[in-house]
Chain A
Amino acid sequence: MKDIIVIGGGIVGCSVARELSRYNARITVLEKFNDVSCGTTKANSGIVHAGFDAKPDTLKAKFNILGNAMFDDLAKELDFPFVRNGALVLCFDKEDFPRLGELYNRGLDNGVEGLKVLTKEEVFEMEPYVSKEVVGALYAKTSGIVSPYEMAIAYAENAAVNGCEFNFGKRVVSICESDGRWTVECQSGEKYSADMVVNCAGVYADDINNRVCDKKINIVPRKGEYMLYDKSCGYLATRTIFQMPSKMGKGILVSPTTHGNIITGPTANDVDDKDNLYTTYEGLSEVYEKSLKSVPSLNKRFVITQFSGIRAHSVDGDFIIGESDKKGFYNVAGIESPGLTSAPAIAVHVAEDIAGKLNLERKRDFNPVRKGIPHFAIMADSDRAKLIEQNHLYGKVICRCEVVTEGEIVDSINRPVGARDVDGVKRRTRAGMGRCQSGFCLEKVMEILARELGVDFETVVKHEKGNIVIGKAKK
């Protein structure tokens, strides 16, 4: 049987691993963090783009359109939150109308369906809280929102169920080839060997590629800062509201999330440090001021958290997908926006391509269906009662703001590719994601983690090795 190593457990690595797990091969994902979905995947806008913004005849345009169309079925099959809520690109100046027309035409060229240019009256009817300065907008019916980290986790769980192995805390330090066999060495000392190495290392994809290939690539870390509002502000937008895009990206958006919060952002600043996830005073001010231009009644007092993510911007401007100049080393790099939208289609393409190169056969027993953690908060009372009868831990609410029960938290730890730390539980269950931001449930979640993992309370981490939450017991 052939061996395939996937470097990186973000949305790209997880979706590629899952699509590869349809074939008879041994697949290993190496991820430097404690969990999947810890890099760009956990900190982005979570938009399933319609595809009017990508330059025609690029990989971005192609996979955007293909990926977008896959979401309805995929979200059902893998059970992750997705809503096709539509999007508006607001126009504030009559002189910008030609640019709105350009976007419209570009969308047509790319094959986007359901585009429409709206008058301001039509805009207000759809979104009563947008600024009265709006003069018109482009409406994209097929735009959607997704919970990106839950999507990646769903992919990972399904890959694992189909035999894919996930190894965490594995930072790749060297990759060598000898007689058609690749050896990948991790900082922790382990070596893995494979017939094919797939580089899905996100912002570090250039480092990985440049160790191996003659053709160098350059990934520039581009930081985006965000603000997340309390669910009580959820009424302010039902569609994703963009402003006119610029060459640095799609600008500051205001969008509902799949869980009913409002997200605003991102900024777009090229930075030197790929690990620097600091938010900045200037960045947050910019997000706030520009978001007010779209929706003036956003009130900073209702922000519950801010965060930033690093996009993997390829200086070439397009996705880099395919076998490199070294046989058996495959790049899936530079997957910035619309990367999340494109990921499902990219993964299918990559898996088929690799299967062809390695002569892989499809598995007969591949199971495409993954069932997520039952979310008590959004269940009917009758289902809640049934669930508690089956398992009394669903009767114990741990996170009051998001109404997350102990049953869900235990499930999140014990399922395939389960949570190993506080943030892992948070991404899977939403415990700590609500308006008190874990003030009340932090220590309860830590206790459950310690119990289920069989470790000391004091050694439970937030998200990274050594990132101890509490510290020592009081002397």
Chain B
Amino acid sequence: MIDKNLVIIGGGPAGLAAAKSAYDSGERDIVILERESVLGGILNQCIHNGFGLHTFKEELTGPEYAARYVEQVEERKIEYKLETTVLGVNADKVVTAVNETDGLVKYRAKAVILACGCRERPRGGINVAGSRCAGIFSAGTAQKLINIDGYMPGKEIVILGSGDIGLIMARRMTFEGAKVKAVVELMPYSSGLNRNIVQCIKDFDIPLLFSHTVVDIRGEGRVSGVVIAAVDDKLQPIMSTAQEITCDTILLSIGLLPENELAKSATVKLSPITGGATVDENMMTSVDGIFECGNVLHVHDLVDFVSKESEEAGRSAARYIKENRADRDYVEAVGCEGVRYVVPQYVSKNTQSEQIQLKMRVSNVFKNVRLVGLIDGKEIFSKKKQIVTPGEMETVTLNKAQIDEIRKGKRLEVTLKGE
């Protein structure tokens, strides 16, 4: 058993930012546990640009963005272990990890930050019928094969789902000489960022079919085609509209799921909506001293927001280690009428934060609306939006005065109101 003040699980953008900020808040006894052979997480395979506009005020690629944080971790000489898989965390903050050189190691931590990211929803999750042949990949797997390993997963591609990775991969496959025949989206809108629809789909004249789904996958041994059909307003396929598109590869970009198996093993309470933990403004979960940040908490669309959230988690963990105190006298923050969720779900009545960023997603596309915050019915903020979509996370930053209003209340509701 190794005593360690802070164990950070995951060396991707969330874990790196949390480590850096915990260090800068005075904590020195930190270890980052990373299962891959390099730090940086999924950013390493995201070789496109567009990262860092908020954090560094410049446009970086994924590996460049990761490198900035890796550098800061290296400068601070924060300990990290690579190719190390965490097998379990319990509510007493004992972290069991394994690697080839140290074998099985147990850390007894004063605080744990879960920063283990998310995974892609597999084909099973949407019940697509048809052949179970080779040639069906998640978009992220294909991204790794092309960008890290240097292999082309196929030549004629149909992408199912319009999540950001799917959109990015449509462009990437096109660059590499593949023909992307269609991006097929069940909903009448994309779950990805608008800028990706423009830059990755429209600029390359790739057909983007909304309100369509795949009803059959064909192929003996390898994919030979997909049958797609339009869906009705109950999202059921209209079989008379079925048409086959020939292709040798299908990429799935049908949603990301926070990977919370470790949180469950530590008895952390999870939100059925985000799939991540429920946290307070310090990113502390329902278990004292266990924090969550990044895509394991809720799926973000910009890494910049992940970094910011994770820095908060790192700061809070460092403070918790010093003070060994969790304040559970909470005001609950909930999403209503068109707002699916709000993170953090709780604000402590005794919060010392001068600034709190609320993050939320809406349930549908709405135009000309206001994002309104009500504390026990009284409006404390209102943000005008020309358009809100489920694919773009909305944020509201609360100032000291607004936080003081919240501290006096019982329940914070965030809701959408028409103009």
Contacts and interface: CB of A to CB of B under 8 A. Distances in A.
Judge: A and B partners, yes or no: yes
A277 B99 contact: no
Q: Which residue among A284, A435, A471 has the maximum number of chain B CB atoms within 10 Å of its CB?
A: A471
A247 interface: no
Interface stretch (B71-79, B126-134, B299-307, B329-337): B126-134
Interface string A265-289: 0000000000101111101100010
Contact of B222 (A307, A400, A437, A468): A468
A395 B103 CA distance: 6
B59 interface: no
Contacts of A300: 127
A304 interface: yes
B278 interface: no
A443 B100 contact: no
Contacts of A305: 122-124
Given A304-B122, A443-B149, A474-B176, A388 B103 contact: yes
Contacts of B146: 474
* Size category, A interface: 35 or more
Contact of A471 (B129, B144, B154): B154
B264 to A, nearest CB: 8
Chain A CB within 10 A, most for which of B102, B103, B144: B103
Interface residues of B, number: 49
Interface string A387-407: 011001101110010010000
A475 to B, nearest CB: 8
B221 interface: yes
A421 B127 CA distance: 25
Q: Is the interface of B mostly helix, strand, loop or mixed?
A: mixed
Contacts of B151: 457-458, 470-474
Nearest to A389: B103
Interface in B68-97: 83, 85, 87, 96
Nearest to B96: A381
A228 B134 contact: no
A461 B123 CA distance: 20
Nearest to A462: B134
A473 to B, nearest CB: 6
Interface string B128-154: 011111100110110011100111111
A189 interface: no
B152 A304 contact: no
A235 interface: no
Contacts of B177: 475
A448 to B, nearest CB: 14
A284 B101 CA distance: 46
Given A277-B132, A389-B103, A436 B119 contact: yes
A281 B104 contact: no
B129 A279 contact: yes
Interface in B12-64: 35
B120 interface: yes
Interface string B171-197: 000001100000000000000000000
A213 interface: no
B119 A435 contact: yes
B98 A395 contact: yes
B377 interface: no
Contacts of B102: 395
A124 B217 CA distance: 40
Contacts of A389: 103
B99 A469 contact: no
Interface in A137-172: none
A288 B152 CA distance: 36
B215 interface: yes
A418 B101 CA distance: 27
A439 B140 contact: yes
B418 interface: no
27 contacts: A277-B131, A278-B130, A278-B216, A278-B218, A279-B129, A281-B129, A281-B215, A283-B129, A301-B125, A302-B125, A381-B106, A388-B103, A393-B100, A395-B104, A400-B85, A437-B124, A439-B122, A443-B141, A443-B144, A461-B134, A462-B133, A466-B222, A467-B222, A473-B152, A474-B146, A474-B151, A475-B152
Given A301-B125, A443-B149, 11 more contacts: A388-B98, A435-B119, A436-B119, A440-B119, A461-B134, A466-B222, A467-B221, A471-B153, A473-B152, A474-B152, A475-B177
Closest 9 CB pairs of A and B: A437-B122, A397-B85, A305-B124, A395-B100, A462-B134, A467-B221, A304-B124, A385-B104, A392-B100
